[in-house]
Structure 1
Amino acid sequence: MTTLTHLECSLCGKTYPAHQAHNLCECGGPLLVRYDLEAARNGWSREWIASGPSSMWRYAPVLPVSKPTSMISLGEGWTPLIRARHYGAAVGAQNLWVKDEGINPTGSFKARGLACCISMCHELGIKKVALGSAGNAASATAAYAAAAGIEAHIFMPKDVPQANYIECKSFGAKVTLVDGLISDCGRIVSERKEAEGWFEINTLKEPYRIEGKKTMGYEVAEQFQWNLPDAIFYPTGGGVGLIGMWKAFDEMEALGWIGSKRPKMIVVQADGCAPVVRAFEQGAERSTFWENAMTVSSGLRVPKPLGDFLILQSVRASKGTCVAVSDRASLLAGAELASREGIFAAPEGAACFAALDQLLKNGFLQPEEKIVVYNTGAGLKYLEAYSTLFPRTSESESDKLGGLITPR
């Protein structure tokens, strides 16, 4: 049973009832879910978790869904933590691990957030949802909305990876391709939601996606026997996964499950869209809009994250850092990871390995530190990006990519 008590604004601290549909606070700040952690500590033990489901729902007492019948699950979470010995040896990292989120439903970590969000929409009686997405959040929204019998309205940039578009159409979502970026897609949702009767689930515009994503923090602690690593690399677009993990660490400390020592949180962005990196380097509390955002890592093409201040607070509190890498370096690192470890990472996750090499060489990280890299998606969803490294030529119509099924 959940120990949910209320929602709290991350900017002004104003509170709202827990079991009502809310978007942002009146001041414009994102809302965060709060729990009675003292009650959870007295009535729940971490030793019991192993007997729970092999999914993110093993942490149900600190998730907002109050009724099992509200839970919409496709088996998300409890992803593997894999020792990357060969890649680590090549770059000089003796204790390197990959948390592979690419095996989640719809092939990315977005499944966690949308499973929780759509479950709460189901519990609250919401019939229509809408969001703007760079791709993977759209796919997860469409899948979980289909499972819940909720109408999904998806707005994506017109150059979104083909896999995301086909997934959303297959799941029955109402898809609109937009000549612009995720910021333009999100604006359309915000402008039309009242007239259309949509509940907006854009990044941090509602409080529940972060709750699903925070389970990545609970899992890494549990998989390391309740000891956190020295550093965590996280590819950061909207940054909700990083914000969620930091929230999870706070909750676990309050529960008495971990100590106060935290990993260095390392933000990784593409050099064609790095608003958080720029703000970090300037010592700013908020980022500014990144003009002409461009990167093959579509999940990193977020020109102005709503939760930028929460990302920066976490990085600075952890004595972490922010790094921008090129698309070329990301794809090459992804190919090397695949050939050395058998893990085909999304370009976003691959970017972290390019950043890892930088931080080992400049001494920010030491070879003996325990390092976890989050691969947030499956490389198979980004074949257009990786095809630039591995072009496939054809001599005739029958040799075209896709063979006989290629449209003529």
Structure 2
Amino acid sequence: MFVKNLLCPKCRATYDSEKVIQLCECGAPLLVTYELDKVAKTLTKDELAKRPATLWRYRELLPVRDERNIVSLGEGMTPLVRFERLGADVDMPELYMKDEGIIPTGTFKARGAAVGVSRAKELGIKTLAMPTNGNAGGAWSAYCAPAGIRAVIVMPKDAPEMNRKEIAVTGASLFLVNGLISDAGKIVARAVKKHGWFDASTLKEPYRIEGKKTMGLELAEQFGWEVPDVILYPTGGGVGLIGIYKGLRELQAMGWIGEKLPRLVAVQATGCAPIVKAFEEGKKESAFWENAKTCAFGITVPKALGDFLVLDAIAKTKGCAIAVDDAETLKAQKMIAKREGAFICPEGATTLAAAMELRRKGWISRSDKVVLLNTGTGLKYPETVDCNPPLLQPDQDID
């Protein structure tokens, strides 16, 4: 393993990666740093191409020291699909979707769980706790099962029922809260302090982001080490966007990609858009969003711990932040399904609605290579689709 240390992006303090550390003393999340010059001398693109198609193909850029501690369900290397018919419809001929809906547990959360749980196992963690809007809880519960780690999950009572069931079936300890993920986070914080459990909340441990960054590594590899022009990402906690940016910067430092980086777009819902508001106001951090609500439940995050990192990634790549309403999200979800056959989650559908708006404004040009990051399968959100087919009797014919 080529890990150097854990670095605070705010105060620049460093910590020993072999100790169980959650946040910097200043309260900011910590990021894993690597000896990238040594990685570049050790790993080649030709060697990488021969490896199995999982995220662990990038093991030199991941924090697990001993491969025996890796907990894997085959996650990673999800398809990059070109949307030719839909692209023609919306005047974006170079429109692509990175489809995380086919990954284990059905969402991109499996990436963070795979690396986070593997590292927790390596560090000797016995019990971890986390708040979730649903999908992260399902993923971490699934990976904790083969790792032999107890998972304590707290989620809003209004989260999708499917998430509740997938957490329960893996044997995790599930609790519901009459509130939002921010309320669940407060309960977890009290439990962690009382019982001494490991806090696996978003960015309160350094390793989830390392799994998420592999989306960026894969995109670079899938485009032949030439990055696209724009990546649109549905943003709640924003770990995936932060991770994609981190992964691409690491590839730059290794000399594997050039100076160009894709413009990163944080997509939120109008019913919960703290990052968008901060971006529009030119601020470096967001304010808590009151009365947050959207059909894209996974991005209902009123205040993200890593908001300053999201806003920094947007600024450094000349990207932007944009909010779309639920009606446009559900319309986009149906458009993708009808034109391309992909039933994606509403969070992922926000990216098409946003791309269409940015194309109308001219922010996205016709020649841009545009990637929609779909974070999960629509099968977890059956309530987003109306289906009332006519009922036939056995002796009836179809007219």
- Is TM > 0.5 for Structure 1 vs Structure 2? yes
TM-score w.r.t. the length of structure 1 is: 0.94
Structure 2 match to 1:321: 320
Equivalent residue letter for 1:357: M
Superposed displacement of residue 393, structure 1? 8.1
| Cα offsets for 1:250-306 (capped at 9, x unmatched) | 100111100111111011000000000000000011000000000011111000011
Superposed displacement of residue 120, structure 1? 0.5
Distance in 1, matches of 2:42 and 2:347, equals 39
Distance in 2, matches of 1:161 and 1:103, equals 18
Equivalent residue letter for 1:88: G
Equivalent residue letter for 1:184: D
Structure 1 match to 2:127: 128
Superposed displacement of residue 391, structure 1? 4.3
Structure 1 match to 2:373: 374
Structure 1 match to 2:397: none
Superposed displacement of residue 6, structure 1? 0.7
- Taking a change above 3 Å as real, the CA distance of residues 394 and 91 of structure 1, as seen in their structure-2 partners, is closer
Superposed displacement of residue 194, structure 1? 2.6
Superposed displacement of residue 79, structure 1? 0.2
Distance in 2, matches of 1:224 and 1:105, equals 23
- How do 1:306-385 and structure 2 match up within 5 A? 306-384=305-383
SS at match of 2:152: strand
Structure 2 match to 1:3: 2
Consecutive aligned runs of 4 or more in structure 1 exceeding 2 Å deviation? 391-395
> Which shifted more, 46-55 or 214-223?
46-55
SS at match of 2:12: coil
Superposed displacement of residue 362, structure 1? 0.7
Distance in 2, matches of 1:53 and 1:122, equals 23
- How do 1:163-202 and structure 2 match up within 5 A? 163-202=162-201
Superposed displacement of residue 345, structure 1? 0.9
Distance in 2, matches of 1:15 and 1:316, equals 25
SS at match of 2:71: coil
Structure 2 match to 1:91: 90
| Cα offsets for 1:181-237 (capped at 9, x unmatched) | 111111111111032231000000000000000000000000000000000000000
Does residue 221 in structure 1 map to residue 220 in structure 2?
Answer: yes
Structure 2 match to 1:268: 267
SS at match of 1:245: helix
SS at match of 2:328: helix
User: Percent identity between the aligned chains?
Assistant: 50
Equivalent residue letter for 2:186: R
> Which shifted more, 364-373 or 188-197?
188-197
SS at match of 1:27: coil
- How do 1:4-83 and structure 2 match up within 5 A? 4-83=3-82
Distance in 1, matches of 2:390 and 2:32, equals 53
Equivalent residue letter for 1:312: L
| Cα offsets for 1:338-390 (capped at 9, x unmatched) | 11011111000001111111011110010111011100000001112x13xx1
Give the paired residue count.
391
SS at match of 2:168: helix
Superposed displacement of residue 131, structure 1? 0.2
Structure 2 match to 1:105: 104
| Cα offsets for 1:22-51 (capped at 9, x unmatched) | 110000010000111111111111221111
- Taking a change above 3 Å as real, the CA distance of residues 145 and 371 of structure 1, as seen in their structure-2 partners, is same
Which consecutive unaligned segments of at least 5 residues does structure 1 have?
Answer: 396-408
Equivalent residue letter for 2:96: W
SS at match of 1:165: helix
Distance in 2, matches of 1:72 and 1:299, equals 24
- How do 1:250-265 and structure 2 match up within 5 A? 250-265=249-264
Distance in 1, matches of 2:93 and 2:262, equals 17
RMSD: 1.1
Distance in 1, matches of 2:117 and 2:199, equals 11
Distance in 1, matches of 2:296 and 2:254, equals 36
Distance in 1, matches of 2:89 and 2:272, equals 28
| Cα offsets for 1:306-347 (capped at 9, x unmatched) | 111110011111111111001111011011101101111100
Equivalent residue letter for 2:181: I
Distance in 2, matches of 1:46 and 1:122, equals 30
SS at match of 2:64: coil
SS at match of 2:381: helix
- How do 1:202-217 and structure 2 match up within 5 A? 202-217=201-216
